[in-house]
Amino acid sequence: MNKYILKFPSDVVSSPVLAETILETGTVLNILRAKVDYNEGTIVISVLGDEEKQKKVVEILTRKGVEVSKLRKGIINEEERCVNCGACISVCPAGAISFDKEGSIKIEKEKCHRCGICLEVCPRRSLSIQEY
Amino acid sequence: MKTIEDINKKIRNGDAVVVRADEMPDIFEENPKKAAEEVDIVTTGTFGMMCSSGAFINFGHSDPPIKMTKVWLNDVEAYTGIAAVDTYIGAAQISDEKGFEYGGGHVIEDLVAGREINLRAEAYGTDCYPRKKAATSVTLNDVNQAMLFNPRNAYQRYNAATNSSDTVLYTYMGTLLSNKKNVNFAGCGEINPLMNDPEYRTIGFGTRIFLGGAKGYVTGEGTQHNPKVGFGTISVKGNLKEMSDEYLKGATVQGYGTSLFVGIGIPIPILDEDMARRTAIRNKDISVKILDYGVQRRDRPVVREVSYEELFSGKVAIDGKQVRSSPLSSMKVSIKIMEQLKQWIEAKEFYLTKPVETLPKDTVLKPMKPKSETPFVNDVMTKKVIYASPTDSIGRVSVLIVDNNIDQVPIIDEEGKLAGIVTAWDLTKAIATKKTRLEDIMTTKVITSRKGEYVDVVARRLGKHQVNSTPVVDDDRKVIGIVTSSDINKVLNRR
């Protein structure tokens, strides 16, 4: 499974690009986050399936005018600011945050949906989303 | 039997035995007698958001002098209803400019970190204090006294929180997801200072403690000290100039406000076997109630009782489901505090004190005295409800709205249950989009209220969801009344 961030330019925003891609490739994909405004849309998806399928999805989306980039990083925790209180743990819908053995916050990027709920909850404002 | 003097002598000789509160249970279990004889001090610690914190600061006199009547530090208002240039900056006061993102707690952190802060003051001017305005920037070095003075810190333990309502709540217990999907809890359990001396034999006015990275003192019981149910608190004081920003950190609580993480550590002298046993307490032995914050009353219903052990496990069973739990205090920093305090004692830099007065054990927590009866929804709602059914035409609903001079009509199904609501605006939209069926235009996620709720609570709900009225439903979701914001305003304005 890989996660991708898709940028839809304004002329593509209104066409059902994702649905078409699913139909054409027969790939199961999951929308993790979506934001659409007047100029462009940003959607984060996770794509199941092998390398071949992943490649095909990226290829088709790119052909349809969507800017596709693979997500490598998840939520970043600025450890200098964080006090390791754990307020972010229980609100995470993906269950991606926990304490490690030393009592420090640990974020599993494979599980993370990048929804950003933890950013708002953090009392220290130490969390951020990296869009790449 | 040991006395504080005996223990201090051992510290001086460099042979006092100091252990951390999390290490004591195993030591005690192995041999209680030996533990009481050999261990001299157990260090405790806590690091959590404590809103009832703040600092008295004296800025020195300006020339010409000013008697400040209003003062802002980095745009956060501080209290100055005391002498001319004395102020109190409270942790929970929010910035005029930045709101919840910056508050008194952050001002204190910035000061302790050595950062410069802006001071802006206003005054009415007197013969002795002619100046009416002052503006400058200062660091902690520039001011005279800066005393951290916290009226209520280090709760012995605290109730945990969940939320049964169908909307997310933003509370001082953090963000509570709807339908009991998470549990948040505060406190450090077995390493909490008062939890290790629950009879307050050694803690009281004058007890020397670790406070914000420096030596500080307990100044007596804290506000809302409630010893009979094991909810003791302390008030504390210390010199801000000696403290460290590692142990005082500003906090933002989503949708609630600002606060200050405060680091406190208290050394517990092991005078006898009783004290050894007290300090051997484990998380599994401390029970905490999980309260339902979905009910916005002073006395919230108890969902269940849990131990700190279960809370710290990360998962708590609620209604047969495992939900995630979050601590709001930092165990990592708390352990560091216990360790630091232990090192100070071992390095002969910190001696124990016998309190001048121990904390009271008979204080009773009183509620706010009400001036008049607070009205319930039942007292103000309209019981004769104008309603429509899902199969009614849009035309009929329009007539109902016009004839009765109302803004919205609840839609009730054949069983008498609330199915939705239609507003005058929904009807306008229906005409614009050429929709004709009521079912297509009604809102099905209706903001409702209950007859036993206080009107203040419903007023807040109406404001939060920006609606003018709410149907009142019973347990079966049958509509028994309707309450509007003008019904509520009438009684609230009378108070």
Confidence of residue A131 (pLDDT cuts 50, 70, 90): low
* Nearest beta carbon to residue A121 from set B174, B183, B324: B174
Please choose, from the candidates B427, B243, B343, B326, the residue with its C-alpha nearest in 3D space to the C-alpha of residue B43.
B343
Contact B259, B49 (CB under 8 A): yes
- CA–CA min distance A27, chain B (Å): 31
How many Å apart are CA B86 and CA B63, to the nearest integer?
Answer: 16
Q: Which helix (H) or strand (E) holds A110?
A: none
Q: Is residue A120's pLDDT more than 80?
A: yes
List, in sequence order, every beta strand (DSSP E) within B287-438. Answer: 287-292, 302-307, 315-318, 321-327, 357-358, 408-412, 418-423
- CA–CA min distance A64, chain B (Å): 32
Q: Which residues of A touch B48 (CB under 8 A)?
A: 85
Q: Within chain A, which residue ranges are assigned CATH 3.30.70.20? A: 74-132
**Percent of chain A scored above 90 by pLDDT?**
34
Q: Return the pLDDT at B492.
A: 79
Q: What is the DSSP string of B354-376?
A: --SEEPPS---PPPPPPSSPPPB
Looking at domain A74-132, its CATH class is alpha beta
How many other CB atoms sit within 10 Å of the CB of residue B192?
28
How many Å apart are CA B419 and CA B302, to the nearest integer?
Answer: 30
CA dihedral B435, B437, B439, B442 (to 10 degrees): 50
Q: Which residues of B touch A85 (CB under 8 A)?
A: 48-49, 261, 327-330
Can you say whether residue B133 is alpha, beta or left, with left for phi > 0 and alpha for psi between -120 and 50 degrees?
beta
Is A104 in the B-facing interface, judged by CB distances under 8 Å? yes
Q: Are residues B292 and B431 in the same domain?
A: no
How many Å apart are CA B115 and CA B109, to the nearest integer?
Answer: 9
Q: Answer yes or no: is B372 within a domain.
A: no
Q: Is residue A132's pLDDT more than 60?
A: no
Q: Return the pLDDT at A40.
A: 80
How many beta-carbon contacts under 8 Å exist across A and B? 75
SS3 content of chain A, % helix, strand, coil (to 5): 20, 30, 50
Written as six digits, the tokens of A101 are 């053995």
Position A68, amino acid = V
Q: Catalytic amino acids of B?
A: 128
Cβ–Cβ of A98/B177 closer than 8 Å? no
Q: What is the DSSP string of B430-454?
A: HHHTT--BHHHHSBSS---B-TTSB
Cβ–Cβ of A124/B182 closer than 8 Å? no
Any alpha helices (H) in B236-284, and if so which ranges? Answer: 273-278
Cβ–Cβ of A125/B101 closer than 8 Å? yes
Q: Return the pLDDT at B495.
A: 63
Q: Are residues B351 and B207 in the same domain?
A: yes
Q: Which residues of A touch B47 (CB under 8 A)?
A: 83
Q: Answer yes or no: is B369 within a domain.
A: no
Q: Which of B115, B143, B171 is the last residue of a domain?
A: B143
Q: Are residues B344 and B457 in the same domain?
A: no
Contact B164, B305 (CB under 8 A): no
Q: Are residues B263 and B393 in the same domain?
A: no
Q: Are residues B157 and B85 in the same domain?
A: no
Cβ–Cβ of B177/A91 closer than 8 Å? yes
Q: Are residues B237 and B95 in the same domain?
A: no
Cβ–Cβ of A123/B251 closer than 8 Å? yes
Per-residue b or e along A47-81, where b marks 16 or more CB atoms closer than 10 Å to that residue's CB: bebeeebbebbbebbeebebebeebeebbebeeee
Q: Answer yes or no: is B55 within a domain.
A: no
What is the reported pTM?
0.85
- What is the CATH code of the structural domain delimited by A2-70? 3.30.70.260
Cβ–Cβ of A89/B325 closer than 8 Å? yes
Q: Return the pLDDT at A69.
A: 87
Contacts with B436 (C-beta within 8 Å, 6 or more apart), sequence order = B393, B394, B430
Q: Return the pLDDT at B340.
A: 98
Chain B residues within 8 angstroms (CB to CB) of chain A: 47-49, 101, 174-175, 177, 182-184, 249, 251-254, 259, 261, 314, 323-333, 335
Q: Which residues pair with B304 in a beta bridge?
A: B290
Q: Which residues of A touch B257 (CB under 8 A)?
A: none
Q: Report the CATH number that the domain containing residue B399 is assigned in CATH.
A: 3.10.580.10
Which residues span the domain enclosing B115? 60-143
Q: Are residues B211 and B88 in the same domain?
A: no
Q: Answer yes or no: is B132 within a domain.
A: yes
Q: Which residues of A touch B249 (CB under 8 A)?
A: 83, 124
| Predicted complex ipTM | 0.83
Cβ–Cβ of A120/B323 closer than 8 Å? no
- CA–CA min distance A14, chain B (Å): 20
Cβ–Cβ of A83/B333 closer than 8 Å? yes
| Closest residue on chain B to A125 (Cα) | B252
Cβ–Cβ of A123/B252 closer than 8 Å? yes
Count how many domains chain B has.
3
Cβ–Cβ of A86/B326 closer than 8 Å? yes
Q: Are residues B409 and B479 in the same domain?
A: yes
How many Å apart are CA B308 and CA B313, to the nearest integer?
Answer: 8
pLDDT tens-digit readout, A18-51: 888 888 888 888 888 888 777 788 888 888 888 8
Q: Are residues B161 and B40 in the same domain?
A: yes
Q: Which residues of A touch B261 (CB under 8 A)?
A: 83, 85, 123
Q: What angle do CA A25, A26, A30 make, to 5 degrees?
A: 100
- Coil, strand or helix: which one is A53? helix
Q: Are residues B298 and B444 in the same domain?
A: no
Q: Return the pLDDT at B329.
A: 96
Q: Answer yes or no: is B370 within a domain.
A: no
- Coil, strand or helix: which one is B404? helix
Task: Output the tens digit of pLDDT for each of chain B's 495 residues.
Answer: 899 999 999 999 999 999 999 999 999 999 999 999 999 999 999 999 999 999 999 999 999 999 999 999 999 999 999 999 999 999 999 999 999 999 999 999 999 999 999 999 999 999 999 999 999 999 999 999 999 999 999 999 999 999 999 889 999 999 999 999 999 999 899 999 999 999 999 999 999 999 999 999 999 999 999 999 999 999 999 999 999 999 999 999 999 999 999 999 999 999 999 999 999 999 999 999 999 999 888 889 999 999 999 999 999 999 999 999 999 999 999 999 999 999 999 999 999 999 999 999 998 888 888 777 778 899 899 998 899 988 888 888 888 889 988 888 999 998 889 999 998 888 888 888 888 888 888 888 899 999 988 888 899 899 888 888 899 999 899 999 999 988 888 887 776
Is A123 in the B-facing interface, judged by CB distances under 8 Å? yes
Q: Return the pLDDT at B90.
A: 98
Pick the residue of A80, A85, A117 with the most B CBs within 10 A to test the interface with B by mutation. Answer: A85
How many Å apart are CA B301 and CA B211, to the nearest integer?
Answer: 35
- CA–CA min distance B6, chain A (Å): 36
Of A71 and B359, the structure prediction assigns the larger pLDDT to B359
Q: Within chain A, which residue ranges are assigned CATH 3.30.70.260? A: 2-70
Q: Answer yes or no: is B371 within a domain.
A: no
Q: Answer yes or no: is B76 within a domain.
A: yes
How many Å apart are CA B174 and CA B172, to the nearest integer?
Answer: 5
Q: Which of B126, B143, B160 is the last residue of a domain?
A: B143
Q: Are residues B386 and B352 in the same domain?
A: no
Q: Are residues B389 and B341 in the same domain?
A: no
